[in-house]
Structure 1
Amino acid sequence: NGIVLNEPSVVAIRTHGNQKSVVAVGTKAKRMLGRTPGNIAAIRPMKDGVIADFSVCEKMLQYFINKVHENSFLQPSPRVLICVPCKSTQVERRAIRESALGAGAREVFLIEEPMAAAIGAGLPVEEARGSMVVDIGGGTTEIALISLNGVVYAESVRV
């Protein structure tokens, strides 16, 4: 179906005393980076491919889910596929899954970033021959060897 949503992982937060509220998410929040007044901070809730701020990440995912379903009459409860770095720990993966479920996802599937890149590029991931993928992302660069529907070997460099 093509690209459903293309938004940066940025959230603008207004602080008023001990209260925090979301001002903007995605492109609108990215435009605010470095240009906000003292009580508003534009932050990236994901760092190096993993969650840095759980509650803000959950609000960001909730916004994205609602934006994709904004023309729907029903409360959205989608199945969500999220890419994770190859070297992410089980704890980091659980945090990502819990954040998406808390944001309203019905089911959450995790896929390693190089595998998603290989599938997107149309590489023969199911065959018994290897395909090398270099995925240069915003927080991590991953190099992976993919064969038989799995990542055989991977290295990840946080940049």
Structure 2
Amino acid sequence: MKSFIFLFIYLVFTTNASPIAKTLTAHTLKSCPWSYWTIFIYNAMNDPIKVNVKSKDDDLGDHTLAFNENEKWGFCENFWKTTFFYASFNWNGSRTASFGVFDKTTTPHCSKWRFTYSRVCYWLVRDTGFYVGPHLTPFPDGWTKLHDWSRMT
């Protein structure tokens, strides 16, 4: 009987069709063994930028982001918490950057774990570099600069 109750409770909280899940907000907890993450990359520059995001298993493709546009994706963090997403950026063909946009070094700058919400990480791309934060707030409040642009040679 205890197993049945546990199974029922597990299904209620992890199935998207449950009435409880429908009452939660947009950043709801998905059926993941660990954290469900949503990552945003916003272009805060007047010029368009090219972005390519990859992981070991997925290539999210090449995207061109105009001013105030964003690239967004979500995923379940793996059991070992070693999920890694890498991004390559190109600005006007003269500046580039490549780094991990989701790994152990970025997660401390993202939102904290809450039971009914997915975790969120926001990246802000500016001409001065790459900033990460837990919320989409006016610049520079709450943003931490982690990377710079490199010049192409």
TM-score (norm 1): 0.25
TM-score (norm 2): 0.26
- Bigger share in strand: 2
Bigger relative contact order, structure 1 or 2 (CA pairs below 8 A, ≥6 apart): 2
- Bigger share in helix: 1
